Amino acid sequence: MQINPIHLSNQQNLISHYRQNHPDIMQYFDYRRSADDMKQRLKDLEQYYFKRTEIVAALSKLNKNWDAPLSTIENIKRLNDKESVVVIGGQQAGLLTGPMYTINKVISIIQYAKQQEEHLKVPVIPVFWIAGEDHDFDEINHIFLPGKQKMKKLTTTQYTIDKKSVSDIPLDKDKTNDWLENVLRELQETEYTKDLSSTIKRCLEKSYSYVDFFARLLFQLFDKEGLVLIDSNSKDIRQIESDYFLKLIENQEQISTGVYGALADLKRSRYDINLEAEVDNTHLFYHSSETNERILLFKTEKDNWVGKNGEVELSTEELKEIAENNPQKLSNNVITRPLMQELLFPTLAFIGGPGEISYWAALKPAFHSIGLKMPPVIPRLSFTYINHRSIKLLEKYSVELDEAINNGLEHRKKAWLAAQIDPPVEETVSEIKKVINEAHKPLRELAHSIRDDLGALSDKNLNYLYRDIEFIEKRITRALEEQYRQQLNEFETLNNLLHPQKGLQERVWNPLSFINHHGADFINELANTSLSFGEEHFLVCI
C-alpha cells in the first residue's frame, strides 16, 4: 500500500486558516495543535472531575452487548486510571458504516490516540461517539455504490414518519435483508465477497436497531485496535448525564448568547459557517412520549421552555425535575453535544471533519459558560483510495492525480474527445457560424431597412441556419462518442472514483466496494500507519 499527501485546492477559507494557525481564526479556539499544547491540555484536565466508575460500567455494558473484542474491553478498563484520557470523534450510524469519511474518522481517532500515548506516556483511549440521538433518518437510510456511468443510490424501503432518535427506530429485518440482498447483487464476485456477505448478515441478524448494526460492523473492521463505542442515546449514559443536563439548563442563557455572538463575529470576519443559532434556542431537545418525537426547545420571555409549534411547555423547575428524575427525555443538539461529551470524558483531543471544525469555532463561549476549556480540535485524516489499474488509466490519458481529485475529469474527457478529429468539431462549427453570419448580414440589414417584421424574420432565419449547423454538430459528436465509447467509459469510471458528484470520494463512496475488491486489511494497515495530521489529504493506493 502506497500513501502520498495531496493538496486540496477547494477547501473553505476557515479550514485553510485553521490549518495554517492563522490568528484571525485561532482566537476562537483555546488550544493550537502543537506538542506543547497537548502537554498543557493534559495538565488542564487534572482540574476536572469525571465519573469514571459510572462511565466505565456503562461503556462495558454497551460494548459487550455489541460483542466488542477483548481489546475494546481492556481499553474501557483503562479509563479507571485517573491519568487516562480519550481522543474522541463521532458520526451518525450510517448503513454499512455510511460514507468512507466515517471509516476515515475512526482511523484518525485510533492513530491520534496511539501517537499521543507515545508522546505523553499516559493511557490514551480511542472513543467513537455514535450520534444515536439524531433523528434525521433520511441522512443514513442509503448508501452509494459505483454504477456503470455514475454513482448508484441504494435506499432502504423502511421509513419513519416521526422524528424518533435513530437508536429508538426498530430495525425492520425483512426490509433491511431485502435491501442488503439488492446491495450485494451490485457487487462483482471476488475472493472476498462470500465472507463479506456472511459477516454483514451475521451482524444484521444480531441487531435490533440501526445503531446496533453500525456498531457491530465497526467492531468487525476494527477488532484489534481497542476502539471504544458509545451510543449517545443510551439510557445508561443518560443517567450519568443527569447532573450535566442540570448544568446546561442553569447556564442556558450564557451558552445561547455566547454562541450567537461568536457566530455574528465569525460572519463579520467573512467565515462561512453552516450553523443556525438564535438567542432563544436552548440547544436542548425534549422527547415526547405522546408523539414519539424529539422537540427542540426555545425560551420564552416568561422563561418557559417550549416547542417551536407549542408541542410542549415547561417551566425551568419542571425541566430540572425531568433532568434529575427522567433524563432520558432530554438530549442535546449540535451545540450542546460537544459540551456533554466534554463533561463525560477526559478529552485530550476532538477529531473533526471540515464541517465540524467550522461550527466548533463558535463554541468557545459555550465551553467557558460551564467552566471548561474547549479541547484541542484536530482535523481528521482525509483519504482518496485508488488501485493500480486506475493509476495506469490516468497515465494513459496524461492526467495528474491531484487534478483529478480536485477538479474531476469531465473537462479532460471533452478535450480528449475533441482532439480525436482534426480540426475539432466545435472549432469548425464556430468558424462556419462566423462565415454564415457575415454572408447573411447584408440580407438582415436589407430586411430591417424595409420593415421591422421582415427584420425580425431575417433574424429568425439566421437562428434557423445556426440550429441546423448545431444539429449536425450533435450528430457528429454522438458518432464520435459511439466510436470512442470504451475510452469515454474509462474517463467516467475515473471521475466516479476520484471526483464523484463533483466532490471528494470519501463523502460519497461506501467502503463496501473497496472491501469487496481488496479485503479489509487495508483499513487495519492504515489504522497502524502513523501519518501526519498536518497534511490536508492522502492518496492511498491499494
Number of separate domains in the chain = 2
- What pLDDT does 133 receive? 79
Could you tell me if 364 and 438 lie in one domain? no
Q: Which of 457, 483, 509 is the last residue of a domain?
A: 483
pLDDT, average across residues 172-192: 95
Q: Residue 59: which domain range?
A: 2-241+336-382+517-541
List residues bridging with 4 in a β-sheet: 539
Could you tell me if 522 and 468 lie in one domain? no
Residues 13/270, Cβ–Cβ less than 8 Å: yes
143 lies in some domain: yes
More confident residue, 163 or 178: 178
Among 291-295, 428-432, 433-437, which is the least confidently predicted range?
291-295
Could you tell me if 527 and 479 lie in one domain? no
Per the listing, cell 475472493 goes with: 191
Could you tell me if 161 and 69 lie in one domain? yes
Q: How far lies 152's CA from each of 146, 180, 217, 295, 439, in Å? A: 6, 14, 22, 34, 50
Residues 321/310, Cβ–Cβ less than 8 Å: no
Does the pLDDT at position 357 exceed 90?
yes
122 lies in some domain: yes
Could you tell me if 460 and 523 lie in one domain? no
Could you tell me if 367 and 435 lie in one domain? no
**Cα gap 294→166, rounded to integer Å:** 11
Q: How confident is the prediction for the chain on average, in pLDDT?
A: 94
- What pLDDT does 276 receive? 83
Q: Which of 483, 502, 530 is the last residue of a domain?
A: 483
274 lies in some domain: no
- What pLDDT does 265 receive? 95
Could you tell me if 217 and 147 lie in one domain? yes
Could you tell me if 53 and 182 lie in one domain? yes
135, 74, 27, 4: which is closest to 542 by C-alpha? Answer: 4
490 lies in some domain: no
Could you tell me if 138 and 54 lie in one domain? yes
Q: Calculate ∠ Cα 340-85-69, nearest 5°.
A: 95
- What pLDDT does 422 receive? 84
Could you tell me if 450 and 371 lie in one domain? no
Strands (E) across 252-327 are located at: 281-287, 294-299, 305-307, 313-314
Burial of 389 (0-12, 13-18, 19+ CB in 10 A): exposed
- What pLDDT does 289 receive? 82
303 lies in some domain: no
399 lies in some domain: no
Could you tell me if 128 and 70 lie in one domain? yes
Could you tell me if 96 and 230 lie in one domain? yes
418, 466, 400, 417: which is closest to 439 by C-alpha? Answer: 466
The contacts of residue 429 (CB under 8 Å, 6+ apart) are: 469, 470, 473
- What pLDDT does 344 receive? 98
Model confidence over 120-165: pLDDT tens digits? 999 999 999 998 777 688 888 999 999 877 899 999 998 876 777 7
- What pLDDT does 45 receive? 97
85 lies in some domain: yes
77 lies in some domain: yes
Q: Which of 435, 463, 483 is the last residue of a domain?
A: 483
Tell me how many helices (H) and strands (E) the chain has: 24, 15
Model confidence over 495-515: pLDDT tens digits? 999 999 999 999 999 999 999
Model confidence over 49-88: pLDDT tens digits? 999 999 999 999 999 999 999 999 999 999 999 999 999 9
